[in-house]
Amino acid sequence: MILLTDSGSTKCDWIALSDDGEQLFKARTRGMNPAILSVEDLQQRLEESEELVNHRDEVTEVFFYGAGCGTEKPRTALRSLLCSYFTNAEVMVKEDTAAAVYAAVGDEPGVVCILGTGSNCCYSDGEKLHQRVVSLGYTLMDEASGNWYGKELIRDYYFKNMPDNLRVQFAENYDMSDDHIKYNLYKQPNPNAYLASHAEFIFQHLDESYIKKLLRRGLRKFSRNMILQFHEEIKSCQVHFVGSIAHFAKGRIQQVAEEFDYEVGNIVRRPIDGLVEYHRSKLNS
């Protein structure tokens, strides 16, 4: 049994395939980001899925792609946990940009961007991934991600930069008390996922002028700081996007792409589906 995993900070999708590529089951746990969670927390999240618990001894290969796996220490810690949990399996752990590339372009060249809970960007030449900027996470980077937009919404609410009609609706949808916000930011795990939970508000109000400007501001920052790192590559390659934020912001992405002179390629909402097809192609090759 082959286990494919695509994990962000908010959620983690698992799909099990037979040796001939037939889907056996699908599972979902909370996000398994080893850069922000302890090994104990990661194991607890593994055990949330009855399917994973019941079939752990049948797994022979694990391909884990996830946020927080771009640096050695958290990647090694997660791999050790997965090896001890799936005791009969060979385990490979790669960063989420690899999953995004396989889902968006397979083995073809292209610049691939992640816009989900967090954000990132890389270039694939068809064989190797190239990253010009190492992500420093949600406190310093992550422009145009769910957590970045969530943070901007909360800030605009408190600074009264949000239109009054939207401020009323925002407060109806979320607990905007200062104690609640600070508790979730400083006392709870996954503050990035907490911030990202507010981004859904954007996609309920896409026609509002304030929302259009906010979306463009984030996408411009992301384009300037991340995509233009590959200024030579985008002359000959399309720029592809993966993630829920990218899916819902298609129109704004196209506008900003024209402004920054790059061509938009595929926009993939859930990379796990593309990962399944990619790995199936390798089984049949």
pLDDT, tens digit, for every residue of 183-199?
Answer: 999 999 889 989 999 99
Q: How confident is the model at residue 40 (pLDDT cuts 50, 70, 90)?
A: very high
pLDDT at 154: 98
Q: How confident is the model at residue 142 (pLDDT cuts 50, 70, 90)?
A: very high
Closest CA to 221 of 252, 248, 250: 252
By the 10 Å C-beta count (0-12 exposed, 13-18 middle, 19+ buried), 278 is classed as buried
Give the pLDDT confidence of 4-26 residue by residue, as tens digits.
Answer: 999 988 889 999 999 888 999 99
Mean pLDDT score of the chain: 94
Percent pLDDT > 90 in the chain is 81
Whether pLDDT at 278 is above 70 = yes
pLDDT at 137: 82
Q: How confident is the model at residue 87 (pLDDT cuts 50, 70, 90)?
A: very high
Mean pLDDT of 47-76: 93
Q: With beta carbons less than 8 A apart as the criterion, state whether 30 and 15 touch.
A: no
Mean pLDDT of 91-108: 92
Q: How far apart are CA 179 and CA 187, in angstroms?
A: 11
Q: What is the β-pairing status of strands 264-268 and 23-30?
A: unpaired
Mean pLDDT of 143-159: 97
Q: How confident is the model at residue 64 (pLDDT cuts 50, 70, 90)?
A: very high
Mean pLDDT of 69-73: 89
* Least confident residue range of 74-83, 197-206, 253-262, 273-282: 273-282
CATH class for the domain made up of 2-100+272-284: alpha beta
Q: With beta carbons less than 8 A apart as the criterion, state whether 225 and 132 touch.
A: no
Residue 111's DSSP bridge partners are 123, 239
Place of tokens 């954000």: 119
Whether pLDDT at 285 is above 70 = no
Alpha carbon 198 to its chain's center: 16
Q: With beta carbons less than 8 A apart as the criterion, state whether 198 and 153 touch.
A: yes
Mean pLDDT of 222-237: 97
Enumerate the H helices of the chain as residue ranges. Answer: 39-46, 50-55, 72-85, 96-104, 146-158, 164-173, 178-186, 191-196, 200-203, 209-225, 244-248, 250-260, 271-284
Q: pTM for the whole thing?
A: 0.85
Q: With beta carbons less than 8 A apart as the criterion, state whether 32 and 6 touch.
A: no
Whether pLDDT at 54 is above 90 = yes
Alpha carbon 1 to its chain's center: 25
Neighbouring residues of 14: CB distance < 8 A, sequence distance ≥ 6: 3, 4, 5, 26, 27, 28, 29, 49, 51, 52
Give the pLDDT confidence of 232-259 residue by residue, as tens digits.
Answer: 999 999 999 999 999 999 999 999 999 9
Whether pLDDT at 284 is above 70 = no
Which residue type does 13 have? D
pLDDT at 189: 80
Closest CA to 249 of 95, 124, 113: 113
Give the pLDDT confidence of 154-177 residue by residue, as tens digits.
Answer: 999 999 999 999 999 999 999 999
